Amino acid sequence: MRLAFTAALLLLFSQNPALGLPPIPRPYTGQGILIISSSSRKGMIPGNIVFYHEPGIGRVAERPLGEIPLLSTAINLSAGEYAAAVMGKKGNWLKIAYDEADREGWIELDRRWLYLSWEEFLPGLSGHLIKGTKKAYRVLYESSSVSAGEIGSITHEKPFLIELVRGDWLRIAPDGQNGGWLRWRDDSGRLLIFVNGTDWQEKH
């Protein structure tokens, strides 16, 4: 009887993430973004991606795209496009996470893929704060420093246009509100914003 009750509880919690499982953590930002395109064959996603300990040396993992941590919870892209945070770059090699434990490896940049720094990717995009962002990260400042004067605050319901990226800060123009500087990643380097990446694709 007790065994059956325990099994029923496990089934309940596994089917209902809101009932006790921890929330999915916000993704790390790294130094840039890798946009992975579908195969040239319509509807096909890339095959397994090979990861190395160092660029081209010491193979450590091989993963299908679906098992690699992606930025889909924070970056909206067009169908057939996938994004991953880039933690390091050496020539034509990029360092990204290959599992949910944040273990990292080096991959070679495919000619169909695109690497961009955040300073290149974010300006001109629309976005909003992720729901549940702490109050300290909802403050708008006169410049890109917490020692600057505060000029207001913003909620996750308020959309904004990204004008400029400076380190951990964005110069934004909220709809119907004076612009200011806002943190776009927290002290641990995790994203605080959701952005519409299709805006970038339309402009390029």
Average pLDDT rounded to a whole number, residues 141-162: 93
Structure token digits, residue 202: 């339309």
Q: How many Å separate Cα 139 from the centre of its chain?
A: 21
- What end-to-end distance do the CA atoms of the chain give, in Å? 62
pLDDT one-digit tens code per residue, 98-128: 998 999 999 999 888 999 999 999 999 999 9
Task: For the chain, give the mean pLDDT.
Answer: 84
Please enumerate in sequence order all residues whose Cβ is within 8 A of that of 82, keeping only pairs 6 or more positions apart, or say none. Answer: 35, 36, 45, 65, 70, 72
Q: Is the pLDDT of residue 22 over 70?
A: no
Q: CA separation (Å) from 156 to 39, 133, 153, 173?
A: 35, 8, 10, 14
CA 169 to chain centre: 15
pLDDT band at 170 (very low <50, low <70, confident <90, very high): very high
Per-residue pLDDT tens for 26-64? 889 999 999 998 654 444 556 789 999 999 999 999 999
The pLDDT score that the predictor gives to residue 39 is 53
Burial degree of 186 (CB within 10 A; 0-12, 13-18, 19+): middle
pLDDT the model gives residue 203: 60
Six-digit token string for 139: 């403050």
Is the CB of residue 153 less than 8 Å from the CB of residue 175?
A: no
Closest CA to 162 of 194, 189, 139: 194
Q: Which token pair is 122? A: 């974010």
Residue 120 is encoded by which pair of tokens? 């290149």
